[in-house]
């Protein structure tokens, strides 16, 4: 039997020891990871580009951000694929919390849903405004789009997110408030007639599609401002209580880093970050893309 020399044994032990030390150093020096699912409007406007480096440096953490519509973001939260979500659909958020998928945030009166920013939805379309919706209420505007679309689907079109996002949820709420059954009258009859189209994609992609089709669409104002320079569409309806768009942050029960998720909640409501939000976009667009949390507005 071949003997293993003492020298070989010492070398082997040394190699193992070095490997252990290196692995420990790597493990202790690598920052923690926080997985965030965010709405596409917050991502497409590059707000997260401004927030991410500040948060990472402050908490020594690496953010992994996934941009999805609210529906998909909440599904990721349910499955434990992310630790925290930033979304904007009160009905879907309430269902998520009622289903036991959320954790109460510390310091916010036992709530799991913490508002931290808001803006407004607007209806945009071609400057020619073939449906004649300028100056109408959101409900009246949708009625006119439906009526004119049915009469002349080649001229009047509406592009929907069609992706179960917060924007899509708001659109469905406006159709309902306007007196329609969304599934049968709009997704059904409207799609068959050819005036109602679904992008099935992000807000930015939906704006591009609406521009190509010379169509109307519903968008949050922040994303529209960020894309406005590349579009031939204009704002036609921008008032109405139903157009309020509140962004919230929710810690996911099935996430793997609840402590860091709590840090993100605290971060988003911190005074200096709220001030950043208030000024975000002003130099480029002359007005903010989002507004900081206001307890009288954000519910």
The answer, yes or no, to whether residue 18 has pLDDT greater than 80, is: no
- Provide the percentage of residues in the chain whose pLDDT is more than 90: 89
Q: How far apart are CA 103 and CA 83, in angstroms?
A: 10
The answer, yes or no, to whether residue 218 has pLDDT greater than 70, is: yes
In sequence order, what are the residues at sequence separation of 6 or more whose Cβ sits closer than 8 angstroms to the Cβ of residue 3?
none
Q: Which residue has the tokens 């704002």?
A: 235
Q: How far apart are CA 242 and CA 166, in angstroms?
A: 13
The answer, yes or no, to whether residue 25 has pLDDT greater than 70, is: no
Q: What's the average model confidence in pLDDT over 89-109?
A: 96
Bridge partners (DSSP) listed for residue 249: 86, 114
**What pLDDT was estimated at residue 21?**
40
The answer, yes or no, to whether residue 156 has pLDDT greater than 90, is: yes
Q: What's the average model confidence in pLDDT over 29-41?
A: 87
List, in sequence order, the alpha helices (H) in 113-269: 138-151, 166-177, 191-193, 203-213, 221-227, 258-268
Q: How far apart are CA 233 and CA 140, in angstroms?
A: 20
What domains does the chain contain, in order, with CATH numbers?
29-118+247-292 (3.40.190.10), 120-243 (3.40.190.10)
Q: Are 91 and 176 in contact (CB under 8 A)?
A: no
Q: What's the average model confidence in pLDDT over 277-291?
A: 96
299 pLDDT tier (thresholds 50, 70, 90): confident
Mean pLDDT estimate for the chain: 91
The answer, yes or no, to whether residue 88 has pLDDT greater than 70, is: yes
Q: What's the average model confidence in pLDDT over 246-260?
A: 97
Q: How far apart are CA 280 and CA 274, in angstroms?
A: 10
Q: Nearest 5 degrees, angle CA 109-CA 115-CA 116?
A: 120
205 pLDDT tier (thresholds 50, 70, 90): very high
Q: How far apart are CA 74 and CA 26, in angstroms?
A: 33
The answer, yes or no, to whether residue 19 has pLDDT greater than 90, is: no
The answer, yes or no, to whether residue 172 has pLDDT greater than 70, is: yes
The answer, yes or no, to whether residue 254 has pLDDT greater than 90, is: yes
More confident residue, 30 or 90: 90
User: Which whole-number Å values give the CA distances from 142 to 93, 138, 173, 266, in the listed order?
Assistant: 25, 6, 11, 39
**What pLDDT was estimated at residue 110?**
87
User: Which whole-number Å values give the CA distances from 83 to 147, 191, 259, 265, in the listed order?
Assistant: 44, 37, 10, 12
**What pLDDT was estimated at residue 92?**
96
Q: How far apart are CA 247 and CA 265, in angstroms?
A: 12
- Provide the percentage of residues in the chain whose pLDDT is more than 70: 90
Bridge partners (DSSP) listed for residue 198: 160
Q: Are 43 and 51 in contact (CB under 8 A)?
A: no
**What pLDDT was estimated at residue 267?**
98
261 pLDDT tier (thresholds 50, 70, 90): very high
């Amino acid at each position: 039997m071949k003997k293993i020399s003492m020298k070989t044994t010492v070398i082997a032990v040394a190699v193992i020891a070095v490997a252990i030390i290196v692995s420990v150093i790597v493990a202790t020096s690598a920052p923690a990871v926080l997985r965030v699912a965010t709405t596409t409007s917050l991502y497409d406007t590059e707000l997260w580009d401004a927030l991410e480096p500040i948060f990472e440096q402050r908490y020594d953490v690496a953010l992994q951000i996934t941009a999805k519509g609210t529906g998909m973001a909440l599904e990721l939260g349910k499955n434990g694929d992310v630790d925290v979500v930033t979304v904007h659909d009160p009905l879907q958020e309430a269902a998520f919390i009622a289903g036991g998928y959320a954790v109460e945030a510390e310091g916010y009166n036992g709530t799991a849903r913490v508002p931290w920013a808001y803006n407004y939805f607007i209806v945009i379309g071609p400057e020619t405004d073939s449906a004649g919706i300028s100056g109408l209420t959101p409900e009246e505007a949708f009625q006119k789009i439906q009526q004119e679309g049915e009469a002349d689907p080649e001229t009047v079109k509406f592009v929907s997110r069609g992706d179960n996002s917060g924007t899509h949820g708001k659109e469905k709420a406006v159709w309902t408030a306007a007196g329609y059954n969304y599934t049968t009258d709009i997704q059904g009859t409207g799609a068959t007639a050819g005036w109602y189209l679904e992008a099935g994609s992000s807000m930015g992609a939906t704006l591009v599609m609406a521009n190509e089709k010379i169509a109307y669409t519903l968008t949050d104002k922040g994303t529209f401002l960020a894309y406005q320079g590349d579009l031939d569409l204009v704002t036609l309806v921008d008032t109405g209580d139903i157009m309020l768009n509140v962004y919230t942050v929710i810690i996911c029960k099935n996430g793997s880093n609840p402590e860091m998720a709590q840090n993100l909640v605290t971060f988003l409501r911190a005074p200096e970050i709220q001030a950043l939000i208030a000024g975000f976009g002003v130099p480029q667009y002359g007005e903010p893309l989002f507004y900081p949390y206001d307890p009288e507005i954000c519910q």
